[in-house]
């Protein structure tokens, strides 16, 4: 397990670019809200802790993880002043193949948004086998994947800024 010996909330603040002037969008799935709200809070807190102004964070909700792709696409189109978008969702393995289809669609869709558009989209979608694994990664014993996604978003926003020359 990749996160067995890692805390997802750990990062070296000295290596994080100054995020004071960046703007971020966060698209949150309403499915599994006990998990996605924890991920959102981790991302939101990490952005604020690294200098992002609260008013520079835009949040949209979508019904489920599959809808994250459309929500992120519309956010990219609607807010051309955004520096990065974070897609937050949670898909937990069930008894059918639905899990596989949703995970594949969301991961490919977010990849496509990154290839086709200039505003990076950060993948913060938990794809766990059990509810406990999701709890452990959304503020539990393994930290918070939302925090990790926020740090990735700041770094990608900086890369986007530097690459505009």
Q: Which of 20, 21, 53, 98 is catalytic?
A: 98
Q: In the predicted model, what is the mean pLDDT of the chain?
A: 94
Domains observed in the chain? 27-162 (3.40.50.960)
What confidence tens digit (pLDDT) does each residue in 4-54 have?
A: 667 878 899 999 999 999 999 999 999 999 999 999 999 999 999 999 999
- Two tokens, residue 67: 């809808």
Read off the pLDDT of each residue in 136-148 and give the average, rounded to a whole number.
96
Q: Is 142 a catalytic residue?
A: no
What is d(CA 86, CA 59) in angstroms, rounded to the nearest whole number?
Answer: 10
Instruction: Compute CA distances 62 → 72, 81, 86, 87, 89, whole Å.
Output: 10, 21, 13, 10, 10
In this prediction the pTM is 0.95
Answer for the pair 29, 134: CB distance below 8 angstroms, yes or no. Answer: no
Lowest-pLDDT range, 7-21, 44-58, 115-129, 132-146? 7-21
């Amino acid at each position: 397990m990749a996160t067995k010996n890692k805390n997802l909330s750990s990062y070296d603040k000295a290596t994080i670019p100054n995020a004071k002037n960046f703007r971020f969008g966060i698209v949150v799935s309403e499915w599994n809200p006990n998990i996605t709200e924890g991920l959102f809070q981790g991302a939101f807190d990490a952005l604020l802790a690294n200098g992002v102004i609260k008013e520079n964070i835009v949040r949209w909700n979508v019904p489920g993880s599959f809808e994250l792709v459309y929500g992120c696409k519309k956010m990219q189109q609607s807010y051309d002043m955004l520096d990065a978008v974070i897609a937050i969702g949670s898909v937990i393995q069930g008894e059918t193949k639905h899990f596989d289809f949703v995970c594949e669609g969301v991961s490919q869709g977010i990849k496509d948004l990154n290839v086709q558009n200039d505003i990076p989209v950060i993948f913060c979608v938990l794809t766990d086998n059990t509810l406990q694994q999701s709890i452990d990664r959304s503020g539990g014993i393994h930290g918070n994947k939302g925090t990790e996604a926020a740090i990735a978003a700041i770094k990608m926003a900086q890369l986007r800024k530097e690459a505009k020359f």
